[in-house]
Each structure stands twice: as structure tokens, then as C-alpha cells.
Amino acid sequence: MKYLRAFQLRRFWLLLLLPAAFALDFMAKSSPDFAEWYAVTVYPLYAEFFSALTGILPFSLGELCLIALAVFLLVYLARNIYRLVRYGENRFERLVRFLSVPLLIAVCIAFLCVTNYGTNHRRYPFAAVSGLEVRDSSVEELYDLCVALTETANALREDVAEDENGVFTLSESVWADAKAAKSIFNDLHPDYPTLYTTGTPKPVFFSEVMSYLDISGIYCPFTFEANVNVHMDDVLVPVTMCHELSHLSGYMREDEANFIAFLACIRSDNADFRYSGAYLAMVNATNALFSADLELWKEVDALKSDALRRDVQSNNAYWKRYDTPVAEVSNKVNDAYLKANGQANGVRSYGRMVDLLLAYYRA
């Protein structure tokens, strides 16, 4: 009986969240209709409220919570391991209580991941609700897209500021751009009713840590925040803000978030955002062309202006500095996570943005 008494903790009701999470995930996997219904009716009810609430804060609550959780677990583990070793009385009961806290934290995290993130992975593809026709395309079509995007990037590059090294630099602060990103993203709502957010992107204080992990931005499903790495080159900051807002609005697939970010940026009247969106689209499209036809890629590459080429070289050099074993491990973890959430191609699904670009330019 004394062993059973150890499990008589009121907090164990939280274990019920685990089967609830499995049930919700199973329903979403089994029925895209259910997943889409959840994404457009249930998810916005609380996501818009909490993202508006955390959006008031001038810092990333998710970043703060992550640091606080790490400190709490370290102190908790050290304190309780000491007690287990130091005191012999009721050791089994102490052990159960000790292990119950990290276990239940993990259960709560799993539940919130499903309700606030995972279920939306199963919704209809953005192409299906936007009217875009995604289909196989010829290399010639891809080449034409790359030419159009490169010429657009060249033209837009002339309207933006650059630093003393001739590399693109934001004309406003990252905080001003974060506020602008929300408005720019929501301008899509009249034409794309499923795209809307009450949140504001959050520049991350420890952004360089994200660079070591090869992360440009991350959506926090626990605080409903779009967190952005502002240590990387400025050229990707505006489009990354819109990318993370895409996740916050309920579109979790990386390829779709990239395309939606391009769409928001290219339609805006902000020169920095227009150029950033065109830059990301051009990089994705030309990378696809490089794999498909090297000679055609060389023709497109020759079209880049000197200014655009400086931005490309600077951005590549930045990420090369952080190409470490830590980044490789982070990529493998991210790849496994994407596959577990229905993105069968894992990290390679980032390249499928090109199919949406082709469909958009055809339309």
C-alpha cells in the first residue's frame, strides 16, 4: 500500500492530456476535412487572443520561458537528486514525486504541440484554398520563372539602402519592421481569407544562438509568437517575419509559409519587404534550376546585378560561418520533426516553394 500511496498525486490527472493529444492527432491525420475545420474555426479562437496578448510585450516571451524552463529543470534535478541520496526515508515516494514533474511537463508540451501546431500540419494545402494549380513544370518554365524573379530582384534592389560594404541594410529598425510585417501580412486577408494574424514578429535577443542551430525563425506554439533571428543578414529578416506569421496564422508547412511570405512581401508598398520577398523566391527558384540544368542556371546567374550579387555572397558567407556540427544535428532534428508531421520530404520540402511560385506566375 505504501507504494500505491506514492502515485496518489492530484497532478496525475494531467496524464489525461496525452490520450487527448493522440486522439486529436489521429482525427487530423485521418481526415483533412477535420484538420481544415479545426484550423479555421477552433485554432483561431484562442490563437488570435493569445498572440494579441503576447504581442503587447516588447520581447519574446517564448525565449524567456525557454531560458526559465532550462534553469528550473537544472535546479529541480540537482535539488531532488541530492534529497534522494541524502535521505533514505520514503525514498520510493520521493522518486515518484521527483519524476512526475518532468514527465507531466513533457505531457503538457506534447498536448500543446498537437493543439497549437501539429493539427494544422494536416489541413488542406494552401494551393487548394488559394485557387493555385500546382502541377509538373518543364525546365523551360522554371528557367522563365528564374529570369523573371532575377530581373524583379535586380529592379527592387535599386530602391533599398546598403551599408558601407555595398550590402543591403534595413532602412528601419527591426522593431519598426516587426510592426510593419503584421500589417503587410494582413493585407493578404481580403484575397486570402484564411490568412490573418493578431501577432507581431519578435526579434530574438539571443539570435546568434539560432544561427548556430541554422535557424532563421521559429514559431513558438506555447506563447503564439513568431520569433525571428535578427543576427543574420538583413536581406532575409523581412521575409522571415512574414514566414513566421504564416505559421501563426495556421499554415505550418515550410514550403507554403515561404510562398505566403513571398506573396505578402511582393504585394506590399514597403521597398525592403518587396526586395526581401523577391530575394527569397529567386534563391529558391535558382537553386532548383541549378539542380535541373546547370547551363540554364549559368545564364540566369549572369543576369544578377552587382548589387544583388553582393547580397547573395554576403548571405552565403554569413551562414557558412555557422556551418558547424551543431547546425548539422539541428537540421537532422528538424528533418525528423517535419517528417513526423506529415512533410514526407523533410527539410527538402523547403524546395517545393518553387511549385507554388510557378503556379502563381502561370496564374
Other Cβ atoms within 10 Å of 182 Cβ, number: 21
Of 5-9, 48-52, 177-181, 285-289, the range with the lowest mean pLDDT is 5-9
% the chain with pLDDT above 70: 89
pTM above 0.85, yes or no: yes
* pLDDT at 327 > cutoff 60: no
What backbone torsions phi and psi does residue 37 show, to the nearest 5 degrees?
Answer: -60, -45
| DSSP bridge partners of 321 | none
3-state secondary structure of 262: helix
Identify the pLDDT of residue 348.
35
* pLDDT at 28 > cutoff 80: yes
The CA-based diameter of the chain, rounded to the nearest angstrom, is 79
Does residue 135 contact residue 288 with C-beta atoms inside 8 Å? no
Each residue's pLDDT tens digit, 127-140? 999 999 888 888 99
Identify the pLDDT of residue 1.
47
350 secondary structure, DSSP code: G
SS3 content of the chain, % helix, strand, coil (to 5): 70, 5, 25
What backbone torsions phi and psi does residue 203 show, to the nearest 5 degrees?
Answer: -65, 130
Mean of the per-residue pLDDT values for the chain? 89
269 secondary structure, DSSP code: S
Identify the pLDDT of residue 15.
87
Identify the pLDDT of residue 330.
47
Compute the distance between CA of residue 271 and CA of residue 278 in angstroms, rounded to an integer. Answer: 11
| Among candidate residues 222, 257, 224, 221, the one with its CA nearest the CA of residue 241 | 257
| Among candidate residues 32, 26, 41, 44, the one with its CA nearest the CA of residue 126 | 32
Identify the pLDDT of residue 349.
32
Q: Which residues contact 337 (CB under 8 A, 6 or more apart)?
A: none
3-state secondary structure of 11: helix
* pLDDT at 339 > cutoff 60: no
Does residue 356 contact residue 255 with C-beta atoms inside 8 Å? yes
Exposure of 168 by Cβ count < 10 A (0-12 exposed, 13-18 middle, 19+ buried)?
buried
Q: What is the DSSP string of 230-243?
A: -SS-GGGHHHHHHH
Each residue's pLDDT tens digit, 189-200? 999 999 999 999
Compute the distance between CA of residue 2 and CA of residue 190 in angstroms, rounded to an integer. Answer: 63
Of 76-80, 200-204, 323-327, the range with the lowest mean pLDDT is 323-327
* pLDDT at 256 > cutoff 80: yes
| C-alpha grid cell, residue 2 | 505504501
Identify the pLDDT of residue 347.
36
Of 8-22, 84-98, 272-286, 321-335, the range with the lowest mean pLDDT is 321-335
Q: Report the DSSP pairing between strands 225-228 and 202-203.
A: parallel
3-state secondary structure of 87: coil
Q: Which amino acid is at 203?
A: P
Q: Report the DSSP pairing between strands 217-220 and 202-203.
A: unpaired
All structural domains of the chain with their residue ranges = 2-122, 127-362
Per-residue pLDDT band for 88 (boundaries 50, 70, 90) equals low
| C-alpha grid cell, residue 290 | 541549378
Each residue's pLDDT tens digit, 109-133? 999 999 998 999 999 999 999 999 8
